[in-house]
A and B are shown apart, each in its own frame.
Chain A
Amino acid sequence: MNRCQRCKVDIIDDTVKCPLCHGVLVHDENSVQHQPLYPTISQKGQALQWLFKITIFASIIAEAVCILVNYLTTWQVKWSFVTGIGLAYACFTILYSVKRNKSHQRKMVMQLIIGLFVIFVIDLALGYKGWSVAYAIPSAIMSMDIGFGVLMIVNRKNWQIYIMPQIWMVIASAACLILAWMEMDVLPLFALIAIVVSVIALAVSIVFGDRRAGNELYRRFHI
């Protein structure tokens, strides 16, 4: 073992300097080679950080080019806003999908929420005709309902975890129906179908899910 004469302590590490005062150690000739207690750790996550930076930087450059071209050509139709929203959505998708601390249900729901928002903003940017809440968003919700149904069948052992996303779909479709109804004179058929599909999907899970569904809801809503 080596000794630091200044700190008056023995240093077990295989080193020439004291970790406390950085003074040179007095080497004990009789000491045996020490096996390090800890491994050397390599720095991780640098590649991912670079991927994030490059993605965001490239998106900003691409959007700047789009705005410039749009301004110099057809500024009456502001299509560069649509490309901007599309690029922002692509960035979100890339960055969020590689997050390691989010479950796949959460990733799917977040992807949908942001996706719906993007559709709504595109509709707004193109002069708001109401097609987003009347057709696009209800279609996306129904696709998610079908997606969760498929996942329940595939992940049979743990199917009850998809009940909460189904509840969120009911809430999203209800919001969509109200929005569409406010904008249109007649009852929006697509939005109505979406809420019916979402409610039926949830009802099927609860009724046929029996105790497992009940327990899942009890756990999620316990006070």
Chain B
Amino acid sequence: MQQKRVNHKNGRLIWNRLDNTANLFPVIATKNMTNVYRISVTLTDDIEPEKLQTAVEQVLEYFDVFQFCLKKGIFWYYFETNKRPLPHIEEENLYPCTYIERYENNEYLFRVSYYGKRINLEVFHALTDGNGALAFLKEITYMYLRMTHEELADNVQDTLNKETSLDYEDSYLNNYKRKAARTYKTEKAVVIKGTKLSGDQFGVMHGYIPVAEIKKVAKSYDVTINQYLLAVYTWAIYVQYLKKMAGKKPITISVPVNLRPYFDSTTLKNFFVIVSSVFHPYKDDCTFEEILAVVKESLEKQTTKENLEKLFSYNVSNEKTFMLRVVPLAIKKLAIKFVYLQSAHANTSTVTNLGLIKVEEAYKKYIKQFHVVISMSEGQNIKGTVISYDETMVFTFSSYLENTSIQREFFRKLSEDGINVSIETNGVYYE
């Protein structure tokens, strides 16, 4: 890369406030609720660790957000440029989304590892959301590919992609307009319980789905792919966990929505809100079509710009209130934890969709697949992610539970609808 700039290793120290969502994560993060997610890219060739280390170090110099470490102030947490060297990149030897031990990781809030042909980027959610992490991972991958495939030098420049943003504004604050009413829910939802996997085991199950086939099926139901997947997931919980019986508690699936397209933001920091697909099992033996109609309506109502703005404005208005700002961090932490635990049981599960990943044409032939895995949270022992690349969509279940009946019902339903599904796991279900 030619355009090197002054970086943290030359003494430049930046500090930055946490964004509105990020304030939550350091408070609630534990070994079991790590708030770490993983985005992986699988290449066509085996990874060369030394070159990967160099690629990460070089790309990191441009991404101030990923250089941050977390510090504790008297009133707030804050980010500060980390002056320590990047830890040595190791072959994968932990389950996905394992807690990032700050002091073992030289205080970096992300971790890069590799296994076979795959590069893993694991990020503590306080730092950024999936979109920010994806931008960083893409640049690491491009840099690594330029280092390992000399023929690329003829086609691409040895610099960052022109579409990559390095901006790290607090888009919540910049787009907040007025004080809004409380939006977070406290109505208790169905909690999926069961025998847990042994020790610190973490189950991962990827379902590979042809994009063209799922598109066709969703179209035949007159819904979007996301609505269809959420309805199938709700159906699987209704059939396997509630045994098709009516109940008082709803099946509520949280869906993080990327706010960048709605508010014209390119920030690398967190900028998302959570909407929910809510299905009340009001009677026995509901049909899939009935669930699909409820899920569709529930999501359509919530994904408007006005509603999304309302969803984050309540939290931002609290953050801006002087009387709350001067409360010491120790007391704030208790209050945040209390509010979080109150609302945590309002969700059955989470499904996050990173959408269709596009990569630069020159690199395409070296990249085979992307995967996303998210960690568990209070009351949620199973979660899902979606990511599409080229002609394949990957629906990934991550879970602490031994039982895979929900996953089975989910994939069987897709198969019944005429979609060809291939399954791959991390092996814990065979042990």
Contacts and interface: CB of A to CB of B under 8 A. Distances in A.
Interface of A: 1, 7-13, 15, 17, 19-21, 35-45, 100-103, 157-158, 215, 219-223
A57 to B, nearest CB: 22
Contacts of A38: 92, 115, 204, 425-427
B83 A11 contact: no
Most buried by B among A9, A10, A102: A9
B200 interface: yes
A7 B116 CA distance: 29
A9 B115 contact: no
Interface residues of B, number: 52
B169 interface: no
B85 to A, nearest CB: 12
User: Could you tell me the dominant secondary structure of chain A's interface residues?
Assistant: loop
Contact of A220 (B74, B102, B325, B423): B74
Nearest to B94: A41
Interface stretch (B57-65, B260-268, B407-415): B407-415
Interface string B388-431: 00000000000000001001100110011000111111110110
Contacts of A15: 430
A36 B427 contact: yes
B370 to A, nearest CB: 13
Interface centre among A37, A40, A223 (most CB of B within 10 A): A37
B267 to A, nearest CB: 20
B94 to A, nearest CB: 6
Contacts of A41: 93-95, 201
A39 B199 contact: no
A206 to B, nearest CB: 16
Given A13-B430, A19-B429, A39 B115 contact: yes
Given A19-B423, A38-B92, A38-B115, A7 B430 contact: no
A104 B2 CA distance: 39
Nearest to B206: A37
Given A9-B421, A9-B422, A43-B200, A223 B75 contact: yes
Shortest Cβ-Cβ A-B pairs, 7 listed: A20-B408, A38-B426, A12-B424, A8-B415, A10-B422, A19-B429, A9-B421
B91 interface: yes
Interface in B56-96: 71, 73-76, 78, 80, 83, 91-95
Interface of B: 13, 15, 17, 42, 71, 73-76, 78, 80, 83, 91-95, 101-104, 115-116, 118, 199-201, 204-208, 322, 325-326, 404, 407-408, 411-412, 415-416, 420-427, 429-430
B398 to A, nearest CB: 12
B24 to A, nearest CB: 18
A103 B201 CA distance: 28
29 contacts: A1-B422, A7-B408, A7-B411, A7-B412, A8-B412, A8-B415, A9-B421, A13-B424, A13-B425, A21-B408, A36-B116, A37-B42, A37-B426, A38-B425, A38-B427, A40-B427, A41-B95, A42-B93, A100-B103, A100-B104, A101-B103, A102-B103, A157-B83, A215-B15, A219-B71, A219-B73, A220-B73, A222-B75, A223-B326
A222 B78 CA distance: 9
A215 B423 CA distance: 53
Contacts of B71: 219-220
A11 B423 CA distance: 5
Contacts of B208: 12
A219 B73 CA distance: 7
Contact of B74 (A9, A42, A221): A221
Contacts of A9: 207, 411-412, 415, 421-423
A97 to B, nearest CB: 12
Contacts of A158: 83
Nearest to B204: A38
Contact of B78 (A1, A10, A44, A219): A219
Nearest to B409: A20
A99 to B, nearest CB: 9
A21 B412 CA distance: 10
Given A13-B425, A38-B204, A222-B73, 10 more contacts: A11-B423, A12-B208, A20-B411, A38-B426, A39-B91, A39-B92, A44-B200, A158-B83, A219-B15, A219-B78
